[in-house]
Structure 1
Amino acid sequence: MKKKSYLAAACLLLFMLVLSACGGAAGSDAKTASPETGTEAAAGGAEEAASGTVTYESESGPVQVPANPTRIVALTNAPNVLSLGVTPVGVDQWTGNNPLFTEKLKGVTVVTEEDPESVAALAPDLIIAGSTTKNLDQLNKIAPTVVYTWGKLNYLDQQVAVGKLLGKEAEAQAWVDDFTKRASEIGGRIKAEYGDDVTVSVMEVDGKSAYVMGDSWARGTEILYQAMGLKMPDKVKEAVTSEGYYSLSLEVLPEYMGDFIAVSRKLDASNEIMGSEVWKQIPAVKEGHVIEFESRASSYSDPTTLENLLGIFEKGFLGDSK
């Protein structure tokens, strides 16, 4: 009788172990097909399990992210991601319309924060967003979401931060070190050519609107004022103190122009301001000290954008001389 009892107990225990294993497998599958996301992410979950996760110290606190993310949706900072040789599965419309990234974005979906379902449909394993991005709560349910506040980090630290997120911190830092050295050297050559006190105004024009920019407002401002160490006209410096940029009327425009003018505009469109007599009488314009570049390719401060602008500025200030 005892032998039969032991045998029955052993059989019951084996049955319970098998049942438990089956239930665990079913529970694992259920987690990858979450009703909150409306998308099945079994493949993404398997990849994440294989590669493991790491804790990323974001500005909003620690976030568990894939150690090697493969399906990134970048609603912000997409150019920083692309500059590290990583292709997201989804990007914002502004990056999608940027001519510098046309080739790199072939086959990449343009998504919007207004439509979280379009993000979920891509089954991302990592989402990069801004602090003002809409529907952050919903995005966090789709995949680990890392948030950056625009301007909280300078343009160099921002690239290193994204590099760390993607497991490419050393690569990002190497670019930072090399870029700052090269830009500083070009700045030194410009000052040797035109004097240490040479000034440059950075402005954007669009139709009848004109703005001057501070030292960290993209459009090459970080290169000219920070990396190269060129000077901003005093009147511009005072005007941009509050907002970082300042709107100008055509009548007062000449008062804010330096020895050189760097102009961000749509190069394939005529411009009323730059066709005006007021513009034509500005000393820098008369001397040919105007450097124009495409606004759609200058609104970011990532390595690809900065390298493109650095070449434009070097040629604009120094010609083809090396």
Structure 2
Amino acid sequence: LSIGHLLGRENEANDWVKRFEQLSQQARNTLSSFREKGETVAIYEMRGHDKVYMWSYEARGAFYLYETLGLKPPKAILEEVLLPNQHTVIPLERLGEYEADHMFFIVSDQYGWYKQMDKRMEESDVLRQLSAVKNGTFYPVKLEEFRFDEGERALLLMDRFVSQLTQPAYPTIVHM
């Protein structure tokens, strides 16, 4: 609204806010049964080969996932990341301590993670042991799709969250 005011485009800004509110409400309605189940959802980002970032409300769509859509994070993420509003970095080996029922896992092509995700899951004892990997509720996503989360991108991220969370889960068979 501030930018719309600065640019003399208040009407367009008001229309976008109304559209955002309408689409947000539709998304929350779509996920109402999901929320009633009390399943946890979280978003993570893999950096390099062994660092996992968990973002506070300001990055990678976390605000839209937890606040706008009203989804429940795991207790550890709520207490250590969201309530203090502080990004947290952990070694991959500790990912299980922050595990959610549904895990959006952001990876980049830079280190070959996205293109080799199936292979990485097979090779990683940590990833193989995650319930979300076993249950088919582990969602690798490209960093490039989540790098920015404002304006129209926010609507795309919410749509991505809703579409992934409402698709039937197909348990993953990871070869040992």
The equivalent of 2:44 in structure 1 is 203
> Aligned with 2:39: secondary structure?
coil
Hey, what does 2:161 align to over in structure 1? 313
**Of 196, 212, 227, the match for 2:68:** 227
Change (3 A) 1:172 1:189: same
Match of 1:281 in 2: 129
Work out whether residues 259 and 289 of structure 1, in 8 Å CA contact, stay in contact via their aligned partners in 2.
yes
5+ residue gaps, structure 2, are: 169-176
Cα distance, 1:254 vs. partner? 0.8
Give the superposed CA RMSD: 2.4
Q: 1:174 corresponds to which letter in structure 2?
A: D
Q: Equivalent of 2:138, from 290, 293, 303? A: 290
* Aligned equivalent of 1:301, options 149, 154, 164: 149
Alignment of 1:97-136 (within 5 A): none
Q: Looking at secondary structure, tell me which structure has more helix per residue.
A: 2
- Superposed counterparts of 1:60-139, under 5 Å: none
Which residue of structure 1 lines up, in the alignment, with residue 98 of structure 2? 256
TM-score, scaled relative to structure 1: 0.45
Q: Distance in 2 between matches of 1:269 and 1:184?
A: 37
Instruction: Flag structure 1 segments of 5+ consecutive residues without an equivalent.
Output: 1-159
* Letter matched to residue 148 of structure 2: Y
Say whether residues 1:218 and 2:66 are aligned partners.
no
Most deviating of 307-316 and 292-301: 292-301
What is residue 171 of structure 2 aligned with on the other side?
Answer: none
Which of 81, 89, 99 aligns to 1:247? It is 89
1:250/1:278 contact within 8 Å kept: yes
Which amino acid is 2:96 matched to?
A: P
**Deviation beyond 6 Å, 4+ runs, structure 1:** none
- Aligned partners of 1:191 and 1:197 also within 8 Å: no
Distance change >3 Å, CA 180–CA 198, structure 1 → 2: farther
Is 1:170 paired with 2:18?
Answer: no
Q: Cα–Cα, structure 1 residues 196 and 172, in superposed 2: closer, same or farther, change >3 Å?
A: farther
How many Å apart are 1:211 and its aligned residue? 0.9
- How far apart in 2 are the matches of 1:236 and 1:164? 37
SS across alignment from 2:31: helix
State the shift of 1:244 in Å: 2.4
Deviations 1:251-293 (A, max 9, x none): 2211101111112221575239953121121001111112232
Structure showing greater radius of gyration is 1
Higher RCO (C-alpha under 8 Å, 6+ residues apart): 2
The TM-score with structure 2 as length reference comes to 0.78
- The answer to whether the aligner puts 1:270 opposite 2:112 as a matched pair is yes
Q: CA 1:192–1:301 in 2, change beyond 3 Å: closer, same or farther?
A: same
CA distance in 2, matches of 1:269, 1:288: 24
Identity %: 26
